[in-house]
Amino acid sequence: MKKLVYWILFCSLSLHLTAQVNPVVFNQKLTYEIKLENDEENYLMDYLNIKYEHLIGSNKNESLLSFFYSEQSGNPTETNLYIKNGWMIPITINSVSNTVSYSIYSAFPIIQGEQILSKTNRKGRFNEIDCEYYAILTDQYDKNSYEICFCIDEKNPIDNASYLFPENNIRGLIVSAENKSDETMRLLFKSLETIQINLDFDSEKMMTAIDNHSDTRALEEFMSQIDFEDETTLTHAWEPSQLSIYSDPLYTSGSLDMENEASYQYIYPIYSITSNLLFETAAYSENAKYNRKQLIKFYKRASKNLVKDLKASELISPQQRESLNNFFKTKTKEIEAYIPEENQFFSQNTNVEVKESEDNLSVYSFYSPYESVYRNHPVTEVSLAYDVLDSESLKVNAPEYCNELKNKVPDFQNKDLKLHVYNLAGQICDLYLYNNGGYVGYFETINSMRKSFFEIEKMRSSLSRKDQKALLEYLTTLD
């Protein structure tokens, strides 16, 4: 069930739409709730704080999944996924104007690759509603090759199944959503009500852009044209891979410390512009409209003016102003120090010959070739994914020493040593959380860890005996 929730609970930086368009209208709201098989499963109780809604469009071909999560601290989090033509697109909704922001690069198909939706031989009954199970199979010949399944009442006049699976000719009420690997909880239908919600955005324009720029479809089309058995060489024009753009600090603000989390609403609009314009720079596109220096210039001016205007309008406190200034100052250094990868894509206009063998099949994949950039990685402050975990129960996925790590680092005489020891130990914590419960930038974490290791070794011979002794004792105490 965790995978089911993770599958639908994520969001992205977005592109703001300013044009006035015909609204998308939703007139039905289906409410769902989490049900636990065993109330003693305390680590799952946090899911009960999430409110799930499926809004149905009046034109019968689009819908919206909305999730509202209230943390114990009282800070609410909202995630919205627009659904159309078998695609899910994370969107951000302005609660005042009901306008929508989105990024087409965050869209993903509900049924991916060779997956199929297939009826199983299981039946269910929940809240006095009978239903039959469907599963998303990874192998059409193996009925157990699934992670997520749905119990659907095809006789029910309420229909939301067709919105999620339009190509499968399935109609009816999704009564339950479950994960095979976690039978202790399921998402159950609770109620239906009539609503009237209008969102101002051009959904047709968005879907057209997704069809034209989908990495998934482009990859499938490319791979289908390769005959690995008959050809010894390959000549093919390939669309640029832009996946390495996600490590560019102009694309994302990264993990925010607790001091800046409350100011995210001021930070994210700048990144919503730079993250999308990056796709049109010479560093990541052959059809470039801009260069990265222009975006850096915009970032510096926009961030400076933003803080200035917020202060002049008395919308932030002096403490927030100082915090935002420090944040943008640090990020500007990272942005200016970052060097985009070179030769990261095949040319769209130039045929590339590749010798066909097992050893070079990775040429066609999205794997990132290694580049030695860690020595240029700035370490001015330590920001760890471990410190912003969604749940305390996830901390067991990293070493025990990671908890309150900052307070455990020795008070070395050399302050640079203290910074790099703290960063080295902390980045190791984050590595254990990569694909293991934390939102971790994999390559950034490794580069930051190697940078601190390199700096520690450079200064080791000049350290005082006291610092050398404290360093060795500290490193040996880590489990």
Across 167-181, 285-299, 396-410, 465-479, least confident range = 285-299
- Mean pLDDT of the region 169-196: 88
Q: How many domains does the chain have?
A: 3
At 378 the pLDDT is 83
CB atoms within 10 A of CB 265: 7
At 358 the pLDDT is 40
Can you state the angle between helices 292-312 and 318-337, rounded to 10 degrees?
180
pLDDT at 175 over 90: yes
| pLDDT tens figures, 143-154 | 888 888 999 999
- Mean pLDDT of the region 217-235: 40
- Mean pLDDT of the region 417-430: 93
- 24 within domain boundaries: yes
At 155 the pLDDT is 94
Among 106-120, 132-146, 153-167, top mean pLDDT goes to 153-167
Q: What is the signed CA dihedral for 90, 239, 16, 79, rounded to 10 degrees?
A: 10
The verdict on 143 and 163 lying in the same domain is: yes
* CA–CA separation, 377 and 247 (whole Å): 12
* CA–CA separation, 127 and 151 (whole Å): 12
Q: Answer whether 281's CB lies under 8 Å from 290's CB.
A: yes
- 451 within domain boundaries: yes
The verdict on 226 and 316 lying in the same domain is: yes
The verdict on 395 and 449 lying in the same domain is: yes
Band of the pLDDT at 412, cuts 50, 70, 90? very high
The verdict on 21 and 116 lying in the same domain is: yes
At 190 the pLDDT is 93
- 384 within domain boundaries: yes
Among 162, 192, 210, give the residue marking a domain's end.
210
Across 175-184, 251-260, 431-440, least confident range = 251-260
pLDDT: which is higher, 473 or 314: 473
Per residue in 442-458, is it b (16+ CB within 10 Å) or e — as a string? ebbbbbbbbbbbebbee
- Mean pLDDT of the region 5-25: 48
At 14 the pLDDT is 37
The verdict on 227 and 194 lying in the same domain is: no
pLDDT mean across residues, the chain: 77
| pLDDT tens figures, 78-90 | 788 999 999 988 8
At 38 the pLDDT is 66
The verdict on 338 and 379 lying in the same domain is: no
The verdict on 23 and 89 lying in the same domain is: yes
Among 192, 210, 228, give the residue marking a domain's end.
210
At 232 the pLDDT is 36
Its domain, for residue 465, covers 374-477
The verdict on 23 and 156 lying in the same domain is: yes
* CA–CA separation, 103 and 251 (whole Å): 12
pLDDT: which is higher, 46 or 422: 422
- 33 within domain boundaries: yes
* CA–CA separation, 118 and 204 (whole Å): 29
pLDDT at 361 over 90: no
| pLDDT tens figures, 293-347 | 888 888 888 888 888 877 777 778 888 888 888 888 888 888 888 887 653 443 3
Distance of CA 406 to the CA centre of its chain: 27
Q: Please, which residues have CB within 8 angstroms of residue 206's CB and are 6 or more apart in sequence? A: 82, 89, 102, 104
At 302 the pLDDT is 85
At 263 the pLDDT is 65
pLDDT at 236 over 70: no
- Mean pLDDT of the region 450-454: 92
Share of the chain above pLDDT 90, in %: 27
The verdict on 190 and 226 lying in the same domain is: no
At 260 the pLDDT is 57
The verdict on 239 and 358 lying in the same domain is: yes
- Mean pLDDT of the region 107-117: 85
- 25 within domain boundaries: yes
pLDDT at 226 over 50: no
CA 405, 409, 411, 414 torsion-angle sign = negative
Across 96-105, 121-130, 394-403, least confident range = 96-105
Cα separations in angstroms, 75 against 78, 262, 270: 10, 9, 22
One-letter-per-residue 3-state SS of the chain = CHHHHHHHCCCCCCEECCCCCCEEEEEEEEEEEEEECCCCCHHHHHHHHEEEEEEEECCCCEEEEEEEEECCCCCEEEEEEEEECCEEEEEEECCCCCEEEECHHHCEECCCCCCEEEEEEEEEEECCEEEEEEEEECCCCCCCCEEEEEEEECCCCCCCHHHHCHHHCCCCEEEEEEECCEEEEEEEEEEEEEEEEEEECCHHHHHHHHHHHCHHHHHHHHHHCCCCCCCCEEEECCCCCCHHHHHCCCCCCCCCCHHHHCCHHHHHHHHHHHHHHHHHECCCCCCCCECHHHHHHHHHHHHHHHHHHHHHCCCCCHHHHHHHHHHHHHHHHHHHHCCCCCCCCCCCCCCEEEECCHHHHHHHCCCCCCCCCHHHCCCCCCCCHHHHCCCHHHHHHCCHHHCCHHHCCCCCCCHHHHHHHHHHHHHHHHHHHECCCECCCHHHHHHHHHHHHHHHHHHHCCCCHHHHHHHHHHHHHCC
Q: Answer whether 79's CB lies under 8 Å from 67's CB.
A: yes
The verdict on 205 and 218 lying in the same domain is: no
CB atoms within 10 A of CB 422: 21
pLDDT: which is higher, 340 or 13: 340
Query: HSE on the CB side for 45, CA within 13 Å?
Result: 8
- 311 within domain boundaries: yes
At 41, give phi and psi (nearest 5°).
Answer: -80, 80
Among 190, 210, 230, give the residue marking a domain's end.
210
Residue 385 token pair: 């994914």
- 369 within domain boundaries: no
The pTM of the full predicted model, rounded to 2 decimals, is 0.45
The verdict on 201 and 223 lying in the same domain is: no
Band of the pLDDT at 453, cuts 50, 70, 90? very high
- Mean pLDDT of the region 287-291: 79
